[in-house]
Amino acid sequence: MRIIIFGPPGAGKGTQAELISDKYKIPHLSTGEIFRTAIKNQTPLGKKVKKILDAGELVSDDKVVGLVREELQKSKYKEGYILDGFPRTVPQAKAYDEILNNNNTSLKAFLLLEVPNDELIKRILSRGEGRSDDTKEGVQKRLRIYEEETQPVLNYYRKQNAVKKVDGVGTVKEIFQRITTIISN
């Protein structure tokens, strides 16, 4: 089962992706987490992307696509996975379609977590995870980039009739319930 969880920063993608991963026994692939771990461990990749993440900007499509393509070759992803944070641009979505096609696989669901902007800003500024991009300026920049570069990805998946909307306001449990109803159908 291959699932994409999509939505603006602060929508709760990571939290829900973890729950989906547990319930359906599929690994959670978060590009943001990969970058944050690389930065923490000061790997060559981490050194290259630190400034970009700190500024709330996007890592280049080439780098992200190369990384995801390589990661998905690991055997643990053979039976499926939940993708969080990717694809984030239309070129990434196109590249991901190619990856699916080349492996004769397809997507089970594209989940769109919907949360109003004022709630997103509130959540991010109060989550206290200590992320260096969780500042007021960082959040505003990420929201702007989401609107400009990431939302077009939605149109791409709408054309494939793949988008399933999820109301992202409520308790973690309530939202997860909405998601499992969609996945089970």
């990431």: which residue's tokens?
Answer: 150
Task: Locate 102 and state its tokens.
Answer: 């080349």
Per CB under 6 A, does 12 bind ligand ADP?
Answer: no
According to DSSP, the β-strands at 2-6 and 81-84 are: parallel
Pick the closer one to ligand ADP by CB: 52 or 163. Answer: 52
H-helix or E-strand containing 43? none
Of 85, 108, 110, 157, the one binding ligand ADP (CB under 6 A) is 85
Chosen residue from 3, 20, 59, 143 binding ligand ADP by CB under 6 A: 59
- 150: buried, middle or exposed (CB in 10 Å: 19+, 13-18, 0-12)? buried
Our finding on whether 156 is near ligand ADP (CB under 6 A) is no
In the bound complex, what is the minimum distance in angstroms from residue 23's beta carbon to ligand ADP?
Answer: 21
Q: Are 66 and 29 in contact (CB under 8 A)?
A: no
Nearer to ligand ADP, 44 or 104 (CB): 44
Cα–Cα distance between 147 and 77 in angstroms, integer? 30
Nearer to ligand ADP, 35 or 110 (CB): 35
35 makes contact with ligand ADP (CB under 6 A): yes
Q: Is 93 helix (H, G, I), strand (E, B) or coil?
A: helix
Which 99-118 positions form the footprint of ligand ADP (CB under 6 A)?
Answer: none
By CB under 6 A, which span of 20-28, 58-66, 74-82, 95-103 interacts with ligand ADP? 58-66
Judged by phi (left if over 0) then psi (alpha if -120 to 50, else beta), residue 161 lies in: left
Binding residues for ligand ADP (CB under 6 A): 9-10, 30-32, 35, 52-53, 56-59, 64, 85-86, 88, 92, 133, 142
